A and B are shown apart, each in its own frame.
Chain A
Amino acid sequence: MSSLALLALGSTIAVEFLVYWVVLRTTPLRLFCYSVLINTLTLPLANFAYSSLSLNFYLIEGVVILSESFLLFLLLQKRYLLCLLLSLIANSITALISFLFLPF
């Protein structure tokens, strides 16, 4: 685990929380906790799948989007399609940010 990994985790949690909050407009603290829980689970595993197992990026991103949508569905107890769209938007934004800012 490096400072870069922690930065990636922190920024992902922050960005996904913002997406959840902007869309849902419910208790920010609760949404932040959900973002922490979800990303603390998915980011290290996705990182492992990419860097150690060398799995395809699209496959990993797809699995992450589906996993997070299911976790959001569990935690938020909203309609699944909404959770899926939330997950899709949040992960698209974080992926784009990582492409822009991570070192080449």
Chain B
Amino acid sequence: MISYDLYMVEHKYRYCDHMRLKPTFIVYGLVFLLVLGTVASVSADILMPGQKSTSFSYEITNMDQYPDFVFLLFGGPLGNVQLLQSGQSFTFYKFAQPSVYAILESKYNASILQMNDTEQQLFFENNPDLVPSALVLTAVYTTVPEESPLKSSKVILTIAALNSSHFDLQKTKIIFTYTDGSTEEQAFASPDVLPSPSRSTLGLSWANSLWYIVLPGMAVCGIVYVAVKRRQKP
């Protein structure tokens, strides 16, 4: 329908010097933009050309020092409750921002894991027995340039202090694993500053040079050539 209307607009243009676009066409355009904008809210979730996905995980190293407590991970979106196990790493949806909660084992009820999303939300909002850590966890290095040798990242967390009313969880280091199997550890200087893998890719490979420089350069030459040729025509 839109195409037909535009065809008619173009058709009119051939015979009328003062063609004006009807407001309905502009409305169609705005509707397109609105739809685009709505869908674009998830655009960051798309793997773009030139990038690859890498996995990430977290692990709390000293959970076994607190045998009286059970540790839970919770926080949306798309983040159901996870029961954290000592010595095991865990991961979550890359746009979730969960936190770790501790609860005395004597007050823990395993049925929380079977609850639906709403019930879990209520449980975490209204439970005085839960001790939340202030640390909000985020996904790290989920996408990197294709040329990067990075394969996965694991953030190591340490419980600095924990009692029935206070839970201090800290980031201590990050372990990068590369595609050749080697690993690299880097300590967190500050919880807000994420260390970078030293073997990250800088500079352009020949393929990226072709993609980002040669192809657009050739296109510019072609466009200039066509535009000049067209203007030279009587």
Contacts and interface: CB of A to CB of B under 8 A. Distances in A.
Interface residues of B, number: 47
Nearest to B231: A77
A45 B10 CA distance: 30
B50 A1 contact: yes
Given A95-B36, A96-B35, A45 B216 contact: yes
B227 A75 contact: yes
Contacts of B51: 51
- In the complex, which of the residues B29, B50, B208 has the most CB atoms of chain A within 10 Å of its own CB atom? B50
Given A22-B3, A37-B222, A103-B47, A78 B40 contact: no
Nearest to B210: A1
A78 B49 CA distance: 33
Contacts of A61: 36, 40
Interface of B: 2-3, 6-7, 9-10, 13, 19, 21, 25-26, 29, 32-33, 35-37, 39-40, 42-51, 143, 145-146, 207-208, 210-212, 215-216, 218-220, 222-223, 226-227, 230
Given A2-B146, A51-B51, A85-B29, 11 more contacts: A1-B208, A45-B216, A51-B143, A82-B21, A85-B26, A86-B6, A89-B29, A92-B32, A95-B39, A99-B46, A103-B47
Interface of A: 1-2, 4-5, 8, 19, 22-25, 33-34, 36-38, 40-41, 44-45, 47-48, 50-52, 57-58, 61, 71, 74-75, 77-79, 81-82, 85-86, 88-89, 92, 95-96, 98-99, 102-104
